[in-house]
Chains A and B, each alone.
Chain A
Amino acid sequence: MAPSKEKKPSTDWKKWVKFEYMRLRALRRYKRADEIKSAWNENRQLLSDQLLDEDRRQLSCRAVWVAPVEKQLQGKINKMAVADVMCGERRDKHSVPLRMLYQANPLPTMYKWSPIQNNFMVEDETVLHNIPYMGDEVLDKDGSFIEELIKNYDGKVHGDQEPGFIDDEIFVDLVKALIPHQNKDGGESETDSGDPPQPTMAVFEAISDMFPDRGSPRELKEKYQELIDPQALPPECTPNIDGPSAQSVPREQTMHSFRTLFCRRCYKYDCFLHRLKSYHPGPSTHKRKTPDLPISTEPCGENCYLHLDGERDKIVARLQPTEEDAADRQRKTPKPWSVDSGNEASSEDSNDSVHPETTKSALTGALQGVVTSMDRSRRRTGSGDASTGTAASGVSPDPTVEDEAWTGADQSLFRALHPIFLNNYCAVAQAMISKTCQQVYRFAQEEASNLPAEEHVKDATPPRKKKKKLRLWSVHCRKIQLKKDSSSNHVYNYTPCNHPGQPCDETCSCVGAQNFCEKFCQCSLDCQNRFPGCRCKAQCNTKQCPCFLAVRECDPDLCRSCGAHHLQVDKIQCKNVSVQRGLHKHLLMAPSDVAGWGIFLEDSAQKNEFISEYCGEVITQDEADRRGKVYDKYMCSFLFNLNNDFVVDATRKGNKIRFANHSINPNCYAKVMMVNGDHRIGIFAKRPIQPGDELFFDYRYGPTEQLKFVGIEREMEFL
């Protein structure tokens, strides 16, 4: 395009672009305002419903006092409010006695907070969300405070977006809005009326001119194509395996969402606490010690692959040395599968839900039979033929081949299951339901030709010799002591180490941070740096217990003898699991005897008994510094140092213990403990506490060691 030609429309285009852009922005603002309004209304409705519920409960409960109606004392009314009321012709005088309303004691101020029972990690705030209001005096007196605050956020305040702000949605809308203008431009007129007109290059040129940081016109056009394409899902999104559009994809892709979102430490997907990338090294790569499912030599049903020629002999031959022994075991104990999860056998767990093998094969066979027969009949009637499956590999007249028709979902599922059950096709077939054992077997043979043979990843760390096991434990106990003695005050956050092929030595992140390796680490189970757990038979509340000594809670997977692994809380005799199980005391909130709100114990507590966990938002030290600036001004802080990297802030999210006040002679103390890989703050009783006592702990050892938060305390210091 000639520069002159480019120049000429640009003034017009500029105008149009600017006009449309402003219009869209305004539209968007209105839309947003409406959204906010409706959200507010919704919330308000929720709140008032809650209040109504509360009212109803209060009224249904007998123990209420009804405010006594003041008796009308004839002589005592000294003031009357009198009003003349003109009512047509008549003039009435109305009077009513004046009543004094007495001042009710105000409750302490409380800002809204959300209840949580576990810590909650939040990201750093890069923009200042609101300018805190703390009374006109503060602003008048210290005008520089707000400026300083804004400077902390690099001048970014929520809501004032730069004028050139544009996002995908606005961009698409803008382009669409500009399409009509290209007709006016008259340069190239679109003739086809059927399809929606495509934007010309001029549109993108104009936009690029207006927003130079958004890239060249060509880039913009590509982006637009991408955005408006309804078909284009994000490339990494796998179709639903249960849906109609399931495709045959590699295992990696099938498992991708589960793999990236699963939190190994919380057992949840996309958990609230472990939001950092480094927390999730992904599935452990080293070969697990768990024995695979023993392969049965008995056919699982009529379609079992073992009925195929020679197959059974092969298996039997492979299992020959152990066959007798295995069969023996199967007969004696109703425990055909080993249910180890990498650690020593949990005999208790496996006992409860093991079914005799005979019943289960019969049952699954039945289900499979239903599926296959229905499948077959459906195909014969031709109802299935009309729509050719996306991944159906062509229909052949041969019934056996017809059965072999593997849909994308089936293929993906097989690939997901194959590494688990390996060559145990019976188990794979049972899990898949829709395919018989023989079909699975045949498919597996096909796949095997494509895929490399199952690789055995070597253990990253050389395994230790077994006989040293006991000594290992005592070495660890000594190491704990050493660690304790030489402890600098720095406690670093735990991140699972991930250094394949190397043992945990000085280069290991856990060793460097003076943390033990946890079960979440990628290192070998025999790693030197792993904490061995305790073998206490008692309550693990003395320094006899290595866990207690190391300021750790007992790990349910490591400490077996103290009963930390029981699911039912009342079965646990170990007292060193209170934080992870949330065995907190019942706390009650009331106006404090000291300042503001206070928290009170409903029941009594023994010395060193667990009271509650101090929960809140986990924020970085930097974020804590920024937030602390505001909290300092308010003279009210819920910050609590967790370790060198993170701070717990109970301002926005927290639990009731956040109301505990500070005292120099407190009845509680705080202890940061390592609980299954996380640092968590436990509040414990420093001395026996009576029911109804207010709880205090010494802030100075926990939060930022600044006394300025506690006005009362300062006065005491001066005395």
Chain B
Amino acid sequence: MAPKKREREDENSRTSTDLVKQDHDHEMFLQAFEKPTQIYRYLRARSLVSPLFLHRNLLYMRRASARRVKPKVTRVNALLAMAEKKQSDLTNCTPGQYLTISHIGYYVSKDDSPPSSVRVEVSLKKLCHKRRKEGAAPAVTTSFGWTEVVVNPSDASAPPTVPTSCVPAESFSTQNGSGPKTFVLVVRVSPQQGNRENEEPNNKRRKVSRSSSAASSEPLRAELPVTDRAGRCLLTDGEYDVLLTAEPASQPSAAASATPGRPGANSPRKTSWESFDDGKPVPVPLDAFSTAPTLKLRLAWTNQPPQPTVERPRPLQPRDTNQPASAVAKRCGRGTVKKEESSSSANSRESWSVDKDRPPAGAGSPPTPPLILYQFIYGPAARQQTEARQDLLCPWCCLDCGKLYPLLKHLQLCHARFTFCYTPFARGARIDVSLNESYDSSYAGNPLDLTRPPGARCGPGRRTPSTSVLVCRPRRQKPSLAEFQQTETEERMRPFVTGHNRMYHRTATNLAIPPAELGYDSEGEHDHPWLRTKTRRMIYEFSDVNEGEKALMVMWNLHVMKYNFVGDLQMPQALAMFIEQHGATIVNRNLYRNFVLHLASLYDFGVISPGHIHRAIQQFQELVEGDGDLTSTLVNNLLGAAS
């Protein structure tokens, strides 16, 4: 969806009637995808600054990474050995015992009329890390000898053998010496001693051509870092084009240009959405590879020291491009070579090569990155746009997923505002991207933040953190691409954190319920106060019911409402409770005979039996006899009625 692409598409389908509608459709299309894309871009930037978690720790990503993480069993006795081993050297991280460098050729532009061969010195620079402010970092350089390298060998004229250099892995040891070190492989090219006469014309041309002329006159050099900061070996097997620069100007930028292990750092990326590279100029334009002198090397890790010269290896064939693989900075085992946008095919940079001829040492080679077509679908008109990529980077956050399954899983889990549907096809995969209509974007934090008036904060404020403990042990299914296919798009999007991320209100007052009181159920009781008042009023409204009856009826009604009796069988128990709770009141309010009438009424309706009545009366009288005051009150009442 790069702007130019949009135009092109419009041009293709330019018919005067459709144009307006199509424009409108397209506008809608872009708008629909714009917001989620921007959100994900923003999230990506934020997670770069302060990562919440490392992607590589995710289970599905772990599968993707080449490293096999074995469950470590730590024993106390082995701790020292482990620490020592870790510290000892890098040999365990280098794929072989010896780093063999085959010098295939030295390439300069033809018009420089270069000498037939140059001297190439391979040396290892050992940099001790600077400690505090110690001044210059101590550096030790070890040379591994000179070799003669042919200049501009063509397929026909190449000598049958190529010279090699060998760097034993022991030299990467960090054990002796102080502090951690970094190793840089330095390749220095100087003109052949006997070709002094060629020097002059080169000097002359220096003014004409930019920097290439410097190559032949002065020693040129390039640096290849052997390890990254974590001590991993960056120099993997493969063929390298090393860009050479003049000796004094040994800026790290020049060296970095040739480092193969970091594809993300300097390969200019131009996705169709927008550029990530913050407008920073690419340190070394890839054009330089076509003009500046380069040295072609082949690196291989072997377990025996190689012969001083080996048979010339077959040149690696680029896969399907119209140009030789001149611009490719690296071919590393991971195969994460960036493919340029296909639409700008005229550009030479677009050409890519993923030529792979794996040395036999590298076992378990991953497959070539498939072609991935992202098909953006929107709207009822099934408006769609296709974008092809040759890598397994996530289009939104540029996360290198390494394999298709992790990529799909990542897309599905981290970019849930879209739905992704995977369809395999011959050369790779098609991923249909559409907007997730049912995306739940509700705020999952403290609900109090939602009711807080926006005016109360000045500027961005941190929301109240809310913690939810998640215990989820789903049965892990075997990862399979089938799970991304059409079938089960409905069910899968259940949020993990369900719960009360909203503000609840009281039903009576509409006031917000503080979180501490969520547990109280206002519907817990059967007799709401207004109902109690109502039943009292309704009974008292009767004109032909006498006072004693009214009082007893109200008392009984409230009792029944409170306990919600449901069956005839519960009535004896209800009576027992009634006597227990209201017996004294009945006596004090002079309602005993009314109570007996109430019992008789229950009997008349067939709710209780004479036995129950008898028992109720006994219980009542026991209660009264237990209390002297009640006894006298009852007796007085009964006799008062008589006199």
Contact = CB atoms under 8 A, between A and B. Distances in A.
A338 interface: yes
A170 to B, nearest CB: 18
A434 interface: yes
Contacts of B603: 420
Contacts, number: 339
Interface string A325-342: 000000000000111111
B641 A62 contact: no
B46 interface: no
Nearest to B604: A283
A434 B636 CA distance: 10
A301 to B, nearest CB: 13
A236 B639 contact: no
A407 B642 contact: yes
A692 interface: yes
Interface string B479-513: 00000000000000000001111111111111101
B611 interface: yes
Interface stretch (A285-293, A508-516, A702-710): A285-293
B617 to A, nearest CB: 5
B560 interface: yes
Given A293-B611, A360-B618, A590-B503, A67 B453 contact: yes
B142 interface: no
Interface string B109-149: 00000000000000000000000000000000000000000
Interface in A354-374: 354-355, 360, 363-364, 366-367, 370-371, 374
B544 A676 contact: no
A1 interface: no
Q: Which secondary structure dominates where chain A touches chain B?
A: loop
A416 B518 CA distance: 52
Q: Name the residue among B547, B571, B576, B604 with the largest chain A CB count within 10 angstroms.
A: B604
B574 interface: yes
Given A67-B452, A367-B621, A556-B570, A588 B635 contact: no
Interface string A211-246: 000000000000000000000011011111111101
Interface stretch (A85-93, A178-186, A261-269, A534-542): A261-269
B638 A371 contact: yes
Given A107-B505, A349-B572, A602-B518, A378 B458 contact: no
A54 interface: yes
Q: Which secondary structure dominates where chain B touches chain A?
A: helix
B435 interface: no
Interface string A62-73: 111101101101
Given A68-B457, A115-B507, A241-B548, A266 B560 contact: yes
Nearest to A434: B638
Contact of B573 (A349, A421, A656): A349
A337 B609 CA distance: 10
Nearest to A262: B601
Interface in A110-150: 110, 114-118
B619 interface: yes
B499 to A, nearest CB: 4
B515 to A, nearest CB: 5
Contacts of A633: none
B609 A267 contact: no
Interface string A49-77: 01100100110011111011011010000
A562 to B, nearest CB: 13
A54 B505 CA distance: 12
Contacts of A116: 528, 531
A363 B622 contact: yes
Contacts of B453: 67, 102, 104
B611 A600 contact: no
Nearest to B454: A102
A430 B505 contact: no
Given A237-B543, A267-B571, A582-B564, A339 B518 contact: no
Given A337-B614, A556-B567, A691-B498, A61 B516 contact: yes
A716 to B, nearest CB: 12
Given A269-B556, A600-B500, A693-B498, A433 B569 contact: no
B608 interface: yes
Given A267-B607, A338-B611, A389-B643, A367 B566 contact: no
Given A264-B605, A341-B607, A61 B517 contact: yes
Contacts of A405: 642
Nearest to B517: A61
A290 B525 CA distance: 35
Contacts of B607: 264, 267, 341
Contact of B597 (A65, A258, A337, A427): A258
Q: Name the residue among B448, B525, B596, B624 with the largest chain A CB count within 10 angstroms.
A: B596
A156 interface: no
A623 interface: no
B638 A367 contact: no
Given A54-B511, A262-B601, A588-B513, A431 B596 contact: yes
Contacts of B507: 115, 589, 656
Contacts of A350: 611
A416 B593 CA distance: 10
B538 interface: yes
A690 B607 CA distance: 43
14 contacts: A54-B511, A61-B517, A63-B516, A115-B522, A116-B528, A236-B544, A237-B544, A258-B601, A337-B615, A355-B618, A375-B642, A389-B642, A413-B596, A591-B502
Interface of A: 50-51, 54, 57-58, 61-65, 67-68, 70-71, 73, 100-102, 104-105, 107, 110, 114-118, 233-234, 236-244, 246, 254-255, 257-259, 261-262, 264, 266-270, 272, 283-284, 288, 290-293, 337-343, 346, 349-350, 353-355, 360, 363-364, 366-367, 370-371, 374-375, 378, 383-384, 387, 389, 392, 405, 407, 409-410, 413, 416-417, 420-421, 427, 430-434, 519, 555-557, 564-565, 567, 577, 580-582, 584, 586-591, 593, 600, 602, 655-656, 676, 690-693
